Chain A
Amino acid sequence: DQQVKQNSPSLSVQEGRISILNCDYTNSMFDYFLWYKKYPAEGPTFLISISSIKDKNEDGRFTVFLNKSAKHLSLHIVPSQPGDSAVYFCAASSPGGTSYGKLTFGQGTILTVHP
């Protein structure tokens, strides 16, 4: 049962345009969401996060939007740069308790930004 889903395996955009990566989740207990970026032969690195009490969080060129009623979040990258080409993973966590901070990841979306 895939609780976090990234339905687009890949996305191709032109340099300077907006990249929008989408993520859906099914578990209403998730209260914190994160995006990770992964280059080939490297481990994922944290990009941006958002708490369920917010609907938007912005960090430079990266903005994450959360729509709790739709159980949907998206990552916007503006403007996109060739160096943004990577695999992007959406992840979600439940509040404390026995989860020990366990993150549930989506399948990933390969972003390619063309010069």
Chain B
Amino acid sequence: DVKVTQSSRYLVKRTGEKVFLECVQDMDHENMFWYRQDPGLGLRLIYFSYDVKMKEKGDIPEGYSVSREKKERFSLILESASTNQTSMYLCASSSQPRGYTFGSGTRLTVV
């Protein structure tokens, strides 16, 4: 089975801190995605990547950046964390445009 691993299940950070969320997949998938999940808003796409060093903005990229230096790793960066970035962050990977495998998520709280 494809495995998508997110480095932290729970994180608490202070306002203004730089935050790194890491995601690693083990099945050589080309496409990787970062979503955030908020009640009543569903899953909203922040950024995605279709190849090493390639990235595309999703629907809500403001306040975030990403890095993909290796095929298996896709990092989400909060340059200066704010309280409105408190959320559940979900990473996913896919080898073809028909469905994802998700990680377990990182619950980030910014205080």
Judge if A89 is at the interface, Cβ distance under 8 Å.
yes
Given contacts A9-B40, A43-B103, A44-B43, contact A101 B4 (CB under 8 A): no
Distance in Å from the Cβ of B94 to the closest Cβ of chain A?
Answer: 5
Q: Does A42 contact B (CB under 8 A)?
A: yes
Name the CB-closest residue of B to A2.
B42
Residues on A with beta carbons closer than 8 Å to the beta carbon of B44: 105
Report the interface size class on chain B.
Answer: 20 to 34
> Smallest Cβ distance from A91 to chain B, in angstroms?
8
The smallest C-beta distance from B28 to any residue of chain A, in angstroms, reads 15
Of A14-22, A62-70, A77-85, A92-100, the stretch lying at the interface with chain B is A92-100
Give the docked Cα–Cα distance between A108 and B98 (Å): 19
Q: Does B102 contact A (CB under 8 A)?
A: yes
- Of the residues A44, A101, A107, contact of B40 by C-beta under 8 Å: A107
A44 and B102 CA atoms in complex are apart in Å by 6
Picked from A45, A106, A108, the residue with its CB within 8 Å of the CB of B102 is: A45
Write the B83-111 contact mask toward A (1 if CB under 8 angstroms, else 0): 00000001010101111111111010000
Q: Choose from B31, B42, B101, B104 the contact partner of A105 (Cβ within 8 Å).
A: B42
A41 and B31 form a contact (CB under 8 A): no
B35 to chain A: closest residue by CB: A105
Question: How many residues belonging to A are interface residues under a CB distance threshold of 8 Å?
Answer: 27
Q: Contacts A32-B98, A100-B31, A101-B31; is A41 near B42 (CB within 8 Å)?
A: no
- B98, A42: Cβ atoms under 8 Å? no
Q: Which residues of A contact B33 (CB under 8 A)?
A: 102-103
| Complexed CA–CA distance, A95 and B92 (Å) | 19
Question: What are 23 pairs between A and B in contact, CB < 8 Å?
Answer: A6-B42, A32-B98, A36-B102, A41-B105, A42-B104, A42-B105, A43-B4, A43-B90, A44-B102, A45-B102, A89-B42, A93-B97, A99-B97, A100-B31, A100-B48, A100-B56, A100-B97, A101-B94, A101-B97, A101-B100, A102-B45, A107-B41, A108-B43
Instruction: Give chain B's interface residues, CB within 8 Å of chain A.
Output: 4, 9, 31, 33, 35, 40-45, 48, 50, 56, 58, 90, 92, 94, 96-105, 107
